[in-house]
Homo-oligomer: A and B are copies of this chain.
Amino acid sequence: MPPARFSGRTPVTATLSDDLKNLLDAPVFVTVATIQPDGSPQLSPVWVKRDGDELLFSTTLSSRKAQNLLRDPRVSVVLHPADTPYVYAEIRGSAALSTEGGPELADELSRKYTGKDFADFAPEPVSGERVVVRITPHKVVGRL
């Protein structure tokens, strides 16, 4: 359960436009923002997959972003395609973490972005249990 301060209002779930869905279904890198223990922002580029209106990315349980999201599930994702630099979308939402399907998602994303299984792309990956981060969008802003 998130801390009480996040439950003051029920967030509305946002839907993604067809244009945004198409952009997310291509192998586009996105940047994920989480909140550090001191309240400052933390950023990481990640591979991403869409499941309906939700976004999924893969990381390790011990990573800074996973630890931040376990403490504060509020997350923002920016999609900014390199070939259309004046188009972008920011997807704000909340994240839920699960170890179920962790290795499978890493493989699926690796095939989407590199054409290879994850072990072939990253033969010495960062050690640690892989987790699935599922983001439910609450608001989409930007210039699409």
Contact = CB atoms under 8 A, between A and B. Distances in A.
B82 A43 contact: no
Given A29-B85, A33-B33, A41 B74 contact: yes
A33 B35 CA distance: 10
A56 to B, nearest CB: 18
Tallying the copies of this chain within the complex gives 2
A134 to B, nearest CB: 17
Interface string A46-89: 00000000000000000000000000101111101010010010
A31 B80 contact: yes
21 contacts: A29-B80, A31-B43, A31-B78, A33-B33, A33-B42, A33-B76, A34-B41, A35-B35, A39-B74, A40-B74, A40-B76, A40-B92, A41-B41, A41-B74, A41-B92, A43-B76, A43-B77, A43-B78, A44-B88, A45-B88, A82-B82
